[in-house]
Amino acid sequence: MLHVIRIQNAFFIPFQTQVTFWLLGGENVLFDGGGMLDGAGQAWWDAYAANTSLLRPIILTVYQAKNVLVDSIQMINGPEWFNLVNEGEHVIYRNISISAVSTSNNMPRNSDGWDVYRSNDVTIVNSIIHNDDDCVSFKPNSTNVHVEILDCTGSHGISVGSLGQYPGVYDIVENVFVNNIKMANAQNGARIKAWAGPNVGSGIVKNITFQNFIETAVDNPVIIDQACTRFLCSPVFAFLLDDVWFNNITGTGTNSVVASLLCSPDGRCSNISVNDFSLSYPAGTTQYSCQNVNLTGNAASLFPPCTVT
């Protein structure tokens, strides 16, 4: 059993057993001023390299708050996630600068720019992120989220998920609009990930739009990963993906497969539309792949006939 070391002088967050430096709650909250939040991340990254049970703080958590504006704040050196919106409503972030860059061989870990969890009506706009994990992640029960005009470097992309991680839990992510994103030197671009297999949860992802992405040197510019679990691949699938749009995705990939849409069998993916793709693999032949999905849209012809499992 993993022994988790908790720290003093931080607020405890039940979701995934987290702690946070700053906690904002209440209603009608304005957090601005043009200042900087420095999480002193290098000390945490070095310590975590020697002891992965170390519980590292999130820099800023908006917790059970309503009508919140976080504006013109610089955040650097986050020990872990930079921002968590936990059970929030009507929350806006704008003009945020995020950076996690190591000066040693111990790289930042889990340095998500934003994680949205059990929250409704969240807006993230006009921000710059340099990190090594998700630029933005839509965790379970994120609804009506608007993300626009982000410049992401070094990240794991704009991600729906991971979802279905916990057995017996029903996850929902719906009505998400992501527009005008620059993604460079990243693992993923636009991504949806849901666990499949035994001992996982269930749920639905519905009405998701990824639009106007410019990607440079991205490993997986467009990806749906619904085929395997962290345990084993298994014919047990409990997640539905419906009404997903990838529109106007351009740029370069670091692998030959620039778009990979891998869905579970039994019609678990429906109404997946791909439009106006201009993606290339500069080092060789550009390829597209798909599994268990009927694609629509003017870029569907770029994909070979999808395999069926």
Each domain of the chain, given as residue ranges in start order, spans 21-302
Distance between CA atoms of residues 270 and 293, nearest Å: 7
Q: Return the pLDDT at 125.
A: 99
Q: What is the mean pLDDT of each run of 10 residues along the chain (309 residues)?
A: 62 94 98 96 97 96 98 98 99 99 96 99 99 98 99 98 90 98 99 84 96 99 76 58 98 99 89 99 98 97 95
The one catalytic residue among 132, 134, 156, 171: 156
- Give the active site residue among 133, 134, 171, 225: 133
**Nearest in space to 280 (alpha carbons), one of 221, 225, 212, 223:** 221
- pTM here is 0.95
Cβ atoms of residues 97 and 130 within 8 Å: no
**pLDDT tens-digit profile of 183-235?**
999 999 999 998 877 788 899 999 999 999 999 999 999 999 986 544 444 44
* Fold of the domain spanning 21-302: Pectate Lyase C-like (2.160.20)
Verify whether residue 133 is a known catalytic residue.
Answer: yes
Asked whether 203 and 235 are in contact (CB, 8 A), the reply is no
Locate 86 and state its tokens: 């936990």
Is 156 considered catalytic here? yes
* Structure tokens given for 94: 């704008």
Strands (DSSP E) contained in 72-197 are 74-76, 83-86, 89-94, 97-99, 114-117, 119-130, 136-138, 142-153, 158-163, 170-184, 188-194
What is residue 277's predicted lDDT score, i.e. its pLDDT? 99
| Per-residue pLDDT at 2 | 45
- Contact partners, residue 155, CB within 8 Å, separation at least 6: 113, 129, 131, 132, 133, 134, 135, 183, 186, 187, 188
Q: Are 202 and 229 in contact (CB under 8 A)?
A: no
pLDDT at 89: 99
Residue 193's pLDDT is 93
Nearest to 134 by CA among 160, 104, 157: 157
State how far the alpha carbon of 63 is from the alpha carbons of 68, 85, 88, 115, in Å.
10, 6, 6, 12
